[in-house]
Amino acid sequence: MTQSTCSTPRLSPLNGKPILLGFDGADMSSDAGLTLLREIERRAGLAQRLADCLRDPRDPAKVQHSLCDIIRFRIMMIAAGYEDGNDAAALRYDPSFRIALERGPET
């Protein structure tokens, strides 16, 4: 007899709340794979490693987003097929991008 087991990936919490992946619910986003990429990037620290190699010429008093955050966003955009960056303003409200960038739900 063949018995299948259901295992759910362990994802890092967001703002202290667990992130659950389910494939049996309604459509949320076509970019849900970003949640898994978030885990890989987070564990490897790729965005931070790249940011550490670059000099940020911006005035620290005027910086809203760290260089690491900008690099992480570009990594996610490229992985999701938004290579040119034209959709950055709209994607900041996408639920999958908000989770991947650890921004949580919009308030």
CB 67 within 8 A of CB 56: yes
Residue ranges per structural domain of the chain: 33-100
The one-digit pLDDT tens for each residue of the chain (107 residues) are: 566 556 666 677 777 777 666 656 555 566 668 888 888 898 899 999 999 999 999 999 999 989 999 999 999 999 989 988 889 898 888 888 888 887 755 54
Return d(Cα 42, Cα 105) in angstroms, integer: 19
| Separation in Å, CA 105 to CA 31, 51, 54, 70, 98 | 16, 26, 30, 19, 7
